[in-house]
Amino acid sequence: MIFVGLWCVATGLGLLLTREQTTLVTGLARGALYVVAAAALHGISLFTHEAVHGGLARRPWLNRLGGMLCAWPVLQNFAAYKVLHLRHHRDLGGGQDPDHYSNYTGRRWLELLMHWGRLLLGYPAYITLIPILGWKHGTASERRWVLLEVVAVVAGVGLAVAFVPWPLLLHGWLIPMVLINTLVNIRGMSQHTFLPEQDHPVRGSRSILSNPVTRFFMCNENYHLEHHLYPRVPWYSLPELHHALRADLVAQGAPFIPSYASFVLGVLSGRLQREARRGSTDG
């Protein structure tokens, strides 16, 4: 509910500022409010991940409903995501891992191009391909849920376009969704990309230590290594789990990074790619 409230406040203030004369101050304020609205929507969507692992509610039907309601505002498909994410956990970095790009091509240059595409424009591809891949790998029951959610999301978009005032749709959803593209791409890419041992239980996942504000809006998903080791641990207990395991994980070569900014700089400079190649060669 905190994220819903933040989104409402940021959107409401942003709409008020659109009535004011555009100056440097109002422009910067509107930009900051767009970031808050995007971070809040992104935060809501992260509880979809919690529902995948059954941690959103004790009753299965309520857990599924909560997962869908958290996914739909950002055009995600909970049922399809659940199919693929659980496959990812069962076979990290292996032949059945849908997040392992070498499973889609044997060409190193094309795999690298896919990584760059993910960093820049990954989210539109994500919301398009996840239902397709979830349908491909799902059971008959899971496919019915995937189809139901596709229909629900398409209908919801149609109703929003028809009945929601355009200024609210633009400033409260469309512009924040453009920013969410960047948030999702960086978060998703930081978790397993450019690691030399992508199937290793410790060195195959990366945690971003970050700062309290980022951890709040990320719902502690920055502790991704710890989540992979203990996927049933709820999001609010991940910092405690990290502190309990940190010394042992460091001793095992856990690929901790201090911030998302340092991860992006590492990718743009090529440092992480070089380290991954050198590590795989040494291994």
Helices (H), 91-173: 108-137, 140-163, 166-169
Of 67-71, 95-99, 143-147, 277-281, which gets the smallest average pLDDT?
277-281
- Alpha carbon 81 to its chain centroid, in Å, reads 11
User: Which residues are within 8 A (CB) of 207 and not within 5 positions of it... i.e. 6 or more apart?
Assistant: 222, 223, 224, 225, 226, 242, 254, 255, 256, 257
Q: What is the pLDDT of residue 281?
A: 59
Cα–Cα distances in Å, from 268 out to 11, 120, 193, 262, 272? 32, 12, 13, 10, 9
Higher pLDDT, 56 or 107: 56
Q: For 91, which DSSP code? A: T
**Residue 20: which region, alpha, beta or left (left: phi > 0; alpha: psi -120 to 50)?**
beta
What is the rounded CA–CA span in Å between residue 76 and residue 179? Answer: 16
Q: In this prediction, what percent of the chain has a pLDDT beyond 90?
A: 70
Q: Which residues of 132-142 are buried (b: 16+ CB within 10 A; e: fewer)?
A: ebbbebbeeeb
pLDDT, tens digit, for every residue of 154-195? 999 999 999 999 999 999 999 999 999 888 889 988 998 888
Above 80 in pLDDT, residue 279?
Answer: no
Q: What is the pLDDT of residue 265?
A: 93
What is the rounded CA–CA span in Å between residue 45 and residue 61? Answer: 18
Which candidate, 257, 218, 255, 214, places its Cα nearest to that of 236?
218
pLDDT, tens digit, for every residue of 207-246? 999 999 999 999 999 999 999 999 999 999 999 999 999 9
> Which amino acid would we find at residue 183?
L
Half-sphere exposure of 147 (CA within 13 A, CB side): 8
pLDDT, tens digit, for every residue of 65-123? 999 999 999 999 999 999 999 999 998 888 888 877 777 777 776 777 877 777 777 78
Kindly compute the dihedral angle of the four CA atoms of residues 207, 209, 215, 221, in this order, to the nearest 10 degrees.
10
Q: What is the pLDDT of residue 282?
A: 60
CB 76 within 8 A of CB 130: yes
